[in-house]
Amino acid sequence: MKKIECFKIQLFTIENGKTQSILQIKNDRHTLFREPTIIVADPFLFVHNDAMFLFYEQKKLRHNGTIMMMRSDDLKHWSKPVEVLREPFHLSYPWVLEKDGHIYMMPETCGDKSVRLYEAVDPNLTEFRLVKKLIEQDDDNLDFSFSDSSVVERDGKYYLFTTVRKDGVNQLRLFCSDEFMGEYREHPKSPICVSNKYGRNAGHFTEYGGELYRFAQDCENGYGNNVHVLKVKELSTEDYQEDVVKENILDQNNAFYKFGGHQLNIAELKGKTVIATDAKEYHFFLSNRVLYKVGHLFDV
């Protein structure tokens, strides 16, 4: 019986050059009589009203992914996970941002062949509703479309980065618009990266020291094997350029990241820097899968 690819989450802080793990969320591999959670992944951090919100994908063995949320006021005590978004198709990569006083989520919705924008409907960020489809698929010959999307604002323009996969290769496409929820047109340099090593985002874009950085997940020898850092050298309506800064930033000598991972996001709360990552691992879920098959023999 084939092993199943699973993911887990870890958050840690950096203080005085030292890292400290503050939260781990693991897949539910020990369950027997209920469907196990095999994936908790794609952690995104969002600070709002002096609290840290953690949004992430949760996927059970035989179901699509949904979006979960936890919050903390002190990075020590976390609320119980609540489901904030579910659709008939798979959801992941819940990038959350604030724009003009509104809080939005742009999750991966490639099962709908679109980039969809949702808005929080309550101040506690426990529910989101669809407000607009920003892009819809225009090519029927894709393996999949529009995964791991992010928007960057520069000089009054909005740049939407998203990945499609064609003929087994990831293509990072770039679109631009004059308005955040306006019409997005494909950039003249798009696709800006055609590569399974760098062509898929691994978290939101990050500014540091006046420079803009993109995290990319390495899918060259398998899905989500590690995370690389690239610096954006040029971003305009006419040009895009980036350089690789550092590869394989998840330390696979650390047991938690032994099999790699595919996500990294950074935020600050009350003077503390928090880094959210995920990590890959493999399990059989033998008993649960056998019971599932036996149950179907008797239609139970």
pLDDT tens-digit map of 49-98 = 999 999 999 999 989 999 999 999 999 999 999 999 999 999 999 999 99
The amino acid at 176: C
What's the pLDDT score for residue 51? 97
Calpha distance 284→4 (Å, rounded): 6
CA neighbor of 4 nearest in space, from 25, 24, 29 = 29
Label residue 31 by pLDDT band (50, 70, 90).
Answer: low
Does the pLDDT of residue 292 top 80, yes or no?
Answer: no
Q: Which of 213-217, 273-277, 288-292 has the lowest mean pLDDT?
A: 288-292
Alpha-helical regions (H) of the chain? 286-297
Averaged pLDDT, 238-255: 97
Whole-model pTM: value is: 0.94
Strands 206-208 and 211-217: antiparallel
Q: What is the pLDDT of residues 168-190, one digit of tens each?
A: 999 999 999 999 999 999 999 99
Q: Which residue ranges make up each domain of the chain? A: 4-297
Specify the pairing of strand 227-235 against strand 240-246. antiparallel
Output the pLDDT for position 295. 47
Instruction: Give the separation between CA 183 and CA 178, rounded to whole angstroms.
Output: 8
| CATH number of this structure's domain 4-297 | 2.115.10.20
